[in-house]
Structure 1
Amino acid sequence: MSNFKKEDIIIVDKKVAKQTVLVTSLGNAMEWFDFGLYAYLAVTIGKVFFPEIDPSHQLIYAFATFAIAFIARPVGGFVFGMLGDRVGRKKILSLTLIMMAASTVFIGLIPSYSTIGIAAPILLLIARLIQGFSTGGEYAGAMTYIAESTSDKKRGFLASGLEVGTLVGFAASAVLVTLLTYILGPDKMVEWGWRLPFLIAGPLGFIGFYLRSRLEETPAFKAMEEAKEDDRHRASLKEILTHHWKPLLICIGIVFFYNTALYMVLTYMPSYLTQELGYGETKGLVFSLLVMILIIPIVLGMGYWSDRIGRNKIVKGALIGNILLGIPAFMMMSSSNSLVVFSGLFILGSMLAAFQGALPATLPSLFFTKVRYGSLAITYNVSTSLFGGTTPLVIAWLVSMTNNSMIPAYYLIAACIIGLVVVGFFVKETAGRSLRGSAPTVEDPSEIDEILKNPDKALWWKEEMPVEAAVEGKYNQNVPANVK
């Protein structure tokens, strides 16, 4: 370590880092606007594409079609993730955005069941599969891109901006659906109004593509590319599974509780309030929309504090909060008082905001630069497909089978108990530390002297490198040879 030099440290430009976060988050917002439309129109879509199904089961069929997209997510995660580690993060993120926009517009053009019969839900399934395929590379890529473009000391705060994009996308879709439902009314929404939000996705997709195409590649990926000599350094699935099985399992565990909370609050709650608790469609959407808007500053605040007190403390606090407050929150939502109902929903939203503030910086830090995009995309989407995207479907089915409106609370608590074990015993704190496989990253040159005084702390991750990787120098290629 004595040869560790000043030149080895990556210095990022503050302005470029903020621009990167803004554009990536904006693109993510557009992606989740497209994805959120289906969730907020689930009740209407059930009537349009499954009119011959008993009305009490239409929501289940609609959410089954929502869940079917998650079958394609692991495939998309594998394809786009591996490509992202080979050709770069920027190119793949531009491609996923265009695919999502195109498939969303296609949904808006599909004739109804009354027009073409069984072909309508089949075409809907195909479009949802394409959406899932593109989303498989989007979110993991966005997390990777931001994590590799920001300084070690501000990664939590800046990465939380990605989740602001998610909330803005969901909120925008909720606003649009709410306004259309209010203006047109339920009958016209079923007749033709539901198509309008999907058709807006086209122009938004091209705007996002233009903005992303103007971004630079991440400093960490560029440094790794400059150090490569040949294709021996390109990651393979076998390599990932052999050398990185432990962080893969940890990532799956984190994503399990994270996406259970996310999809429950952002996609299931509007339908839960409408279908199970008897609130009007507009009222349920308005409550969810207000919660999403109000938790945006909480997300940023949690990201800010995660850089200072540690990400694990923030996440553990939210897990314990859900375990203790999950049942009271759902009991509040069963009240006849609108303020009490909203307060219950806001409690769940606040716990989710803590996850959203800390986890976008935690998840990319689990993996080395060479395999980060691929490993994160594969594990994130496998876990999301098995546990996150199926949350609305499973809960709707369980509530239907048991007639127990508290089922969602029990489901959330169980997920958070598992999450507490995963985070408490297996996740290392990475706040203020360099990414695995990368040299320390700073935005202020004055930080360099402090790093040079303790190079072992700066390159803390070297102890975790597999023996084979340490010998061949595979996983820390963006650190100059004199520190390997």
Structure 2
Amino acid sequence: MIRARKKIKPIALSDVTIIDDAKLKKAITAASLGNAMEWFDFGVYGFVAYALGKVFFPDASPGVQMIAALATFSVPFLIRPLGGLFFGMLGDKYGRQRILSITIVIMSLSTFGIGLIPGYETIGVWAPVLLLVCKMAQGFSVGGEYTGASIFVAEYSPDRRRGFMGSWLDFGSIAGFVLGAGLVVLISAIVGQDHFMAWGWRLPFFLALPLGIIGLYLRNALEETPAFQQHVDKLEQGDRQGLQEGPKISFKEIATQHWRSLLACIGLVIATNVTYYMLLTYMPSYLSHNLHYSEDHGVLIIIAIMIGMLFVQPVMGLLSDRFGRRPFVICGSIALLVLAIPAFKLINSDVIGLIFAGLLILAVILNAFTGVMASSLPAMFPTHIRYSALASAFNISILIAGLTPTLAAWLVETSGNLMMPAWYLMVIAVIGLITGLTMKETANLPLKGATPAASDIQEAKEILKEHHDNIEQKIEEIDAEIAELQAKRTKLVQQHPHINE
């Protein structure tokens, strides 16, 4: 039986999605605030790890206290893949907006709960147990937070501005760190070190509740993304292909059909987040515990570095829209491989200016990764599986990256070698370089499974013309290949006595 070939409708100007600028700004604000809250907790936790070690693990030596506190930070990463799978499937089924509202509630309540836990001297072993429970609740919610937020921004952004818009998501991450670290310094300075150790460390965690309420309000006011709404409309119209593209797809199918994208996603997330956690979570403890700077002194240096990163972050995203995402991943990885040792030699120099220079080198390298990650990851998967696939790959990678503070502290403690974090980063740089060389360029292209998106009608016309020009070029290339094959065929026919043209 001969099946009728389905007629493909030419892409017209009406098929290009015009993004409402006001809605785009609201989407970026709401997504970035939730991400800022996630990293606010990470920042506070990293900067008060020394205090948490003494409050929740008082009988251990100072070195073991630090490792135990950082281990409590790392263990929740084991549950993040479960949260990623859970929220990923729900996000592909019910939409991005609803899931982001749920994750911010769980995240704010669990962060707030850390500030309420009594110390070890009050309730004994239940203190570290409750701390771990709160951190695991955080890990479960965060499993769907960053990926959902990056998808939300990517699906709301015009194709030509996706890098710039996506860069504001990690701008929120860095801003959350700055807020958390600045709050730690401010509270410590106001109440004094003794009061800070007794109760002052709890105050930053309490701020998570009002931040969560604001984030929930902003996210509930948003509409669903245009890309996901297109997918829903296709399903409602009873399109067979749309029905086949439903959310019921296993991770095994994702791994077999999209394995290149999965590997690229894993490599990019590992390179970015290991550098992230090394610089922004582990370094405050490294400066205070290993290099014997006062906690406030080390925190002030990191805060200054992060403020500088805030200015660089959107510039990286803007440039990636012009030059592509791959160059930043490749250059950042090469820089990390070559400059990790020099950067840590500067950090260990005992000279403030040189310490700042060493940290600044790592910060600029980190900006090269964070400037493109939020725009690169969502572009690797089609709409109908984007949340599930990205959340799975992202959180598998986080299992490795989340161990960074604990492994770095353990390596330095056991070896006595202060350069171990640099060697750690060099290994990660190789992963990043391989990823950058093998990943596909996605800048200025529509998301997979979505129609082109533009900022205005003039840009839509330009995108449509580029699309048609690209089709013409591909047709010419195919025609050239056909002509070459026809010439080869003619030559072979001429060599055979029984085949005539």
- TM-score of the superposition, structure 1-length normalised? 0.92
Offset of residue 414 of structure 1: 1.0
1:408 aligns with 2:421: yes
- In structure 2, the CA distance between the partners of 1:459 and 1:81, relative to structure 1 (3 Å rule), is farther
Instruction: Give the one of 310, 319, 322 matched to 2:333.
Output: 319
Q: Deviations over 1:21-51 (max 9, x none)?
A: 1221122212321332212111110000000
- In structure 2, the CA distance between the partners of 1:9 and 1:358, relative to structure 1 (3 Å rule), is same
Where does residue 261 of structure 2 map in the other structure? 247
- In structure 2, the CA distance between the partners of 1:66 and 1:268, relative to structure 1 (3 Å rule), is same
1:394 aligns with 2:407: yes
Where does residue 276 of structure 1 map in the other structure? 290
Instruction: Give the one of 39, 46, 52 matched to 1:39.
Output: 46
Q: Distance in 2 between matches of 1:327 and 1:35?
A: 26
Instruction: Give the one of 9, 14, 28 matched to 1:7.
Output: 14
- 8 A contact 1:42–1:59 mirrored in 2: yes
Q: Deviations over 1:292-324 (max 9, x none)?
A: 111111111110000001111122111111111
Offset of residue 384 of structure 1: 0.7
1:357 aligns with 2:347: no
Amino acid at match of 1:242: T
Number of corresponding residues: 459
The worse-fitting range, judged by mean Cα deviation, of 255-264 and 4-13 is 4-13
Where does residue 228 of structure 1 map in the other structure? 235
Where does residue 145 of structure 1 map in the other structure? 152
Q: Distance in 1 between matches of 2:460 and 2:385?
A: 27
Q: Distance in 2 between matches of 1:294 and 1:166?
A: 14
Instruction: Give the one of 433, 438, 445 matched to 1:420.
Output: 433
1:103 aligns with 2:110: yes
Where do 1:85-484 residues align within 5 Å?
Answer: 85-229=92-236, 232=244, 233-237=246-250, 238-385=252-399, 387-424=400-437, 426-455=438-467
Amino acid at match of 2:425: L
Amino acid at match of 2:87: F
- What SS does structure 2 have at the residue aligned with 1:217? coil
- What SS does structure 1 have at the residue aligned with 2:199? helix
Structure 1 residue runs of 5 or longer lacking an equivalent are 463-484
- TM-score of the superposition, structure 2-length normalised? 0.89
- 8 A contact 1:34–1:173 mirrored in 2: yes
Where does residue 79 of structure 2 map in the other structure? 72
Instruction: Give the one of 27, 34, 45 matched to 2:34.
Output: 27
Amino acid at match of 2:114: I
Instruction: Give the one of 54, 62, 66 matched to 1:55.
Output: 62
Q: Distance in 1 between matches of 2:104 and 2:465?
A: 43
- 8 A contact 1:235–1:370 mirrored in 2: no
Offset of residue 58 of structure 1: 0.6
Q: Deviations over 1:163-189 (max 9, x none)?
A: 110011111000011112222233222
- In structure 2, the CA distance between the partners of 1:144 and 1:457, relative to structure 1 (3 Å rule), is farther
- 8 A contact 1:76–1:137 mirrored in 2: yes
The worse-fitting range, judged by mean Cα deviation, of 439-448 and 299-308 is 439-448
Q: Distance in 2 between matches of 1:285 and 1:349?
A: 15
- 8 A contact 1:433–1:458 mirrored in 2: no
- What SS does structure 2 have at the residue aligned with 1:228? helix
Q: Percent identity?
A: 46
Q: Deviations over 1:180-209 (max 9, x none)?
A: 222223322221111111112111111110
Q: Distance in 2 between matches of 1:457 and 1:209?
A: 44
Structure 2 residue runs of 5 or longer lacking an equivalent are 1-7, 475-501
Q: Distance in 2 between matches of 1:459 and 1:249?
A: 29
- In structure 2, the CA distance between the partners of 1:239 and 1:119, relative to structure 1 (3 Å rule), is same
- 8 A contact 2:453–2:460 mirrored in 1: no
Q: Distance in 1 between matches of 2:38 and 2:67?
A: 24
Amino acid at match of 2:442: T
Q: Distance in 2 between matches of 1:236 and 1:367?
A: 13
The worse-fitting range, judged by mean Cα deviation, of 7-16 and 116-125 is 7-16
- What SS does structure 2 have at the residue aligned with 1:109? coil
- 8 A contact 1:298–1:354 mirrored in 2: no
- 8 A contact 2:329–2:432 mirrored in 1: no
Larger Rg: 2
Q: Distance in 2 between matches of 1:156 and 1:60?
A: 37
- 8 A contact 1:85–1:235 mirrored in 2: no
Q: Distance in 2 between matches of 1:159 and 1:459?
A: 28
Offset of residue 452 of structure 1: 3.2
Q: Distance in 1 between matches of 2:118 and 2:283?
A: 28
